[in-house]
């Protein structure tokens, strides 16, 4: 253990067929239900316990829910891209992005089914487990290169549905990627993981989309929250400011109508 999903066989010289993407979606949803069902059984068993719940068990359950939320986000993004692939004449890059996102989600759901029983599996990604026999945990964030299309993963669902594929949206993401130096920082990656986990626990809720590129979700914390090195007071709204590279929070951000051009 862990069993690693694979092998992944690429379609040589041609984009991934739409029927194959639909099959990946069906498989991911099925494996997701297995994982969610096992996690629910685990949590119900803990709730029935008569004594106090050990901190290690509580942390394990929180980690499972956080990983499930991350995989759900990857699946939603992949389904959205697959929908775009099935319409019109998409680029090979869009085909590949859809396939990659769905495969990542499928891998995570597959791992979660095993991680219910083996907490240590959550400390390493499937790829690192497959490529290493050291057994050492691997969750070090490093700045990584990104392309303008990658920023749509960061955007709120409303921004993706309204702006992806438009001239305005494409130009804004290209400009934003240039301002970021073509890199997604380690801090931003940590924030994205931790906010997904917080949302899964009910410690954060997405309430709007930032009007400025990259149109990331705006969250509210119902109770005090520490995330990516920042403390968010109860009732405050927050997001990751991709222009300045840190968590930004206020009691309430101003509201505007429509989307704004990329600016600090």
Segment 21-41, tens digit of pLDDT: 889 999 999 999 998 998 888
Provide, rounded to the nearest whole percent, the portion of the chain with pLDDT above 70. Answer: 88
Average pLDDT, the chain: 83
Tell me how far apart the alpha carbons of residues 64 and 37 are, in angstroms, rounded to a whole number. 12
The dihedral built from the CA positions of residue 124, 128, 134 and 140, taken in this order, carries a sign that is: negative
How many other β-carbons are positioned within 10 Å of the β-carbon of residue 51?
5
pLDDT for 66 beyond 90: no
Q: SS in 3 state form for 90-130?
A: CCHHHHHHHHHHHHHHHHHHHHHHHHCCCHHHHHECHHHHH
Rounded-to-integer distance, Cα 119 and Cα 60, Å: 6
Query: Among 12-16, 149-153, 159-163, where is mean pLDDT lowest?
Result: 12-16
Domain positions in the chain are 14-130, 145-264
Q: What is the DSSP letter of 7?
A: -
E-strand stretches of 137-193: 144-145, 183-184
The 10s digit of each residue's pLDDT in 106-139 is: 988 988 888 887 776 665 444 433 333 333 333 4
Q: What is the pLDDT of residues 223-240, one digit of tens each?
A: 999 998 899 999 999 999
Q: What is the pLDDT of residues 242-257, one digit of tens each?
A: 988 899 999 999 888 8
Q: How many CA atoms lie within 13 A of 236 on its CB side?
A: 16
How many CA atoms lie less than 13 Å away from 142 in the CB half-sphere? 5
Q: Give 11's pLDDT tier (boundaries 50, 70, 90).
A: low
Structure-token pair, residue 211: 């009007």
Residue-wise pLDDT tens digits, 53-65: 888 888 888 888 8
**Between 13 and 94, residue with greater pLDDT:** 94
Q: Which residue, chain included where needed, has tokens 């920082």?
A: 185
pLDDT greater at residue 126 or residue 141 = 141
């Amino acid at each position: 253990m862990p069993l690693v999903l694979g092998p992944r066989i690429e379609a040589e010289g041609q984009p991934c067929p739409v029927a194959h993407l639909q099959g990946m979606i069906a498989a991911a949803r099925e494996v997701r239900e297995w994982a969610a069902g096992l996690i629910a059984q685990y949590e119900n068993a803990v709730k029935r316990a008569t004594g106090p719940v050990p901190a290690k068990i509580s942390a394990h359950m929180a980690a499972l829910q956080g990983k499930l939320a991350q995989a759900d986000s990857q699946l939603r993004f992949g389904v959205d891209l697959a929908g775009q692939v099935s319409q019109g004449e998409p680029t090979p890059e869009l085909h590949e992005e859809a396939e990659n996102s769905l495969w990542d989600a499928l891998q995570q759901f597959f791992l979660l089914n095993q991680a219910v029983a083996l907490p240590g599996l959550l400390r390493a990604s499937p790829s690192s487990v497959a490529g290493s026999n050291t057994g050492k945990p691997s969750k070090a964030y490093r700045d990584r290169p990104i392309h303008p299309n990658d920023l749509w993963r960061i955007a709120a669902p409303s921004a993706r549905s309204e702006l992806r594929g438009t001239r305005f949206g494409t130009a804004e993401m290209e400009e934003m990627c240039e301002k970021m130096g073509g890199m997604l920082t380690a801090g931003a990656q940590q924030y994205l993981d931790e906010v997904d986990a917080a949302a899964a626990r009910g410690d954060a809720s997405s309430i709007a989309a930032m009007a400025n590129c990259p149109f990331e979700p705006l969250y509210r914390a119902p109770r005090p929250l520490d995330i990516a090195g920042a403390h968010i007071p109860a009732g405050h709204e927050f997001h990751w400011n991709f222009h300045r590279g840190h968590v930004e929070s206020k009691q309430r951000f101003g509201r505007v109508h429509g989307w704004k051009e990329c600016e600090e």
